[in-house]
Amino acid sequence: MMLITRLKPMDEISSQVKDSGAVLILACNGCEESFGNAHPQQLRYLEEELEKKSASVTQTLSIDFLCEPILVRYWLRKAEAQENFDSIVVVSCGIGVQVVSKETEHRVYPACDTVTMGGRFGQAWGKEICKECGQCILPYTGGICPLTACSKGLLNGPCGGSKDGRCEVFPETRECGWHLIYERLKAVGRLDLLLGLPLVRDYSRSEPPEALITLRDQILEKQVQTL
Amino acid sequence: MIISELAKQKPFIITSELTPPKGPDYGNTLKAADSMEPFVDAINVTDGQSAVMRMGSLGVCRLLADRGNEPVFQLTCRDRNRIALQSELLNAFGLGIRNVLCLTGDHVALGDHPDAKQVFDLDSVSLLWAVQRLNEGFDMRKNALNGATELCAGAVVNPNAWPIEPQLLKMERKIRTGARFFQTQAVFDVSKLRPFVDLARRMKVPLLAGVLLLKTPSMARYVNARVPGVEIPENLITELERSADPTKTGIEIAARIIVESKEICQGVHLITGGREELVKEILEKADMLP
């Protein structure tokens, strides 16, 4: 499969990243590279735009497949040894963002919205952790997606049935997604996010734009030609 | 009278709960309402409780209003998208219903149609927000309405959840989003209410403690096993088991909880689960009848 993403509006990214100190940009060379958002040119644009909004980008790293936890862990440790940073902007699908989030104590922000799985190559093992909603809300939920982590897909906090961190519906097999989000936000000092205006999903954003689909076709066409 | 006004005028509010019939005949539902009506301030009507398909809440609310009762329209997000929910809120207002309890709703896996699509387009918090918008004369997309509703939105909170901090945060979020009264999930240990009572007091919204009538030991065990968010302590189940008349013992337990709740809450919400005729006896035992 191939997860298709598009860059979030710059204002949305910078409003989340502001006051986050030094930034590490972590880009995925998996499905993404072919998708443009992680091209060196695009990453330079992201760096410049973030710098304009007074964030200091200390490092930009491109890694093959951010959906691969071991790879992510390896490069994160390496990056940490090289330079100090306070937060990470991830250029990948929602899976990459959540894998990074799990591997670090730093605040993690998605640069992209994941729109559809409608492509090919690239793989992520394990449970479904990205619904390709086209409206990545991971900055508000501690880098854990409630659409997949909560059995009801609730966006604004736990239901009343969570007990000892287990899901009320499937206590034997599932953790309460909102418990995980709460623990994470507590650890990073952002419980205030749980008191914000209610999040409401915009389903119109999950419809893959025609231009992206055309671009995908062009990319695939080019690959066929070079075979 | 809407619950938030009632709370200003009465030192202690008593509400109860009615489950619509499984089928078209609502005769017994109205009989149950009649048996408790003289003793309660308002009657909640559940909306597909436990994800079991039944007659709708709004219809029964209107039937109650026709008989002069004050209904609380329970509305869940499980079965309707935001268009239907807003439409239903307008229906309710148009039909003279004023109290709306905004709930997320139980997962379909718990009910009698586990193969149904569950919606959850909104959740309890965003539903409260929708009510707020309608009360301002707009829909969720800021389109102007031809008037504003005057709905009194309520919400629930579960003091049994552990850890409680996420529940407290969500309760505060609900208040900020327009919740004007709270009912709690059934409590058996009143001390668990304390942090929620403190928050409600600080933010000036009335909180009604949920009181569930235990009818038999097996019912108590069933609730523990199957109803999310309720926990009946083992000592109470033992008390029921040792009793020659478990229902009588259940009534005594409920009355005890009411008396304890009276110390700290603005009211109680009684859940009698099909034994509405016992409301009078419970309140009598708790010395709450006028």
Instruction: Let me know if B113 is exposed, middle or buried by CB neighbors in 10 A (0-12, 13-18, 19+).
Output: middle
* Spatial contact of B137 and A196, defined as CB atoms under 8 Å apart: no
CATH of the domain at A66: 3.40.50
Residue A183 placed within a domain: no
Residue A192 placed within a domain: no
Read off the pLDDT of each residue in B86-103 and give the average, rounded to a whole number.
98
Neighboring chain A residues of B157 at a CB cutoff of 8 Å: 160
Q: Computed over its alpha carbons, how large is the radius of gyration of chain A?
A: 17
DSSP A106: S
pLDDT for position A61 = 92
Domain count, chain A: 1
pLDDT of residue A14 exceeding 90: no
Put simply, the answer to whether A200 touches B129 (Cβ < 8 Å) is yes
Neighboring chain B residues of A199 at a CB cutoff of 8 Å: 126
* Topology (CATH level 3) of domain B3-285: TIM Barrel (3.20.20)
High-pLDDT (> 90) share of chain B, %: 96
pLDDT for position A214 = 77
Query: Residue A58: which domain range?
Result: 4-139+198-208
pTM score of the predicted model: 0.88
Interface check A209 vs B, CB under 8 A: no
Q: For tokens 């093959």, what's the residue?
A: A64
The residue of B74, B120, B129, B185 whose CB has the most chain A CBs within 10 angstroms, and thus the best one to mutate to test that interface, is B120
**Which pair of structure tokens corresponds to residue A166?**
């287990």
- What b-and-e string marks burial along A167-189, b requiring 16 or more CB atoms within 10 Å of the CB? bbbebeeebbbbbbbbbbbeebe
Put simply, the answer to whether A198 touches B129 (Cβ < 8 Å) is yes
Q: For residue A144, what are the CA distances in angstroms to A166, A177, A178, B171? A: 16, 8, 9, 21
pLDDT top residue among A56 and B154: B154
Interface check A137 vs B, CB under 8 A: no
Read off the pLDDT of each residue in B238-258 and give the average, rounded to a whole number.
97
**Over the stretch A21-40, which tens digit does the pLDDT of each residue have?**
899 999 998 876 656 788 88
**Over the stretch B177-200, which tens digit does the pLDDT of each residue have?**
999 999 999 999 999 999 999 999
- Phi-psi domain of A165 (left: phi exceeds 0; alpha: psi -120 through 50; beta: other): left
- Phi-psi domain of A100 (left: phi exceeds 0; alpha: psi -120 through 50; beta: other): alpha
* Spatial contact of B208 and B13, defined as CB atoms under 8 Å apart: yes
Of the candidates B162, B156, B274, the one whose C-alpha atom is nearest the C-alpha of residue B219 is B274
Interface check B157 vs A, CB under 8 A: yes
Residue A220 placed within a domain: no
**Which pair of structure tokens corresponds to residue B229?**
């968010």
Q: For residue B150, what are the CA distances in angstroms to A60, A69, A160? A: 53, 52, 27
**Using CA atoms, how far apart are residues B3 and B33, in angstroms rounded to an integer?**
18
pLDDT for position B168 = 97
**Over the stretch B58-68, which tens digit does the pLDDT of each residue have?**
999 999 999 99
Read off the pLDDT of each residue in B103-123 and give the average, rounded to a whole number.
95
**Over the stretch A108-165, which tens digit does the pLDDT of each residue have?**
999 999 887 765 445 555 677 888 898 999 999 999 999 999 999 999 999 988 888 9
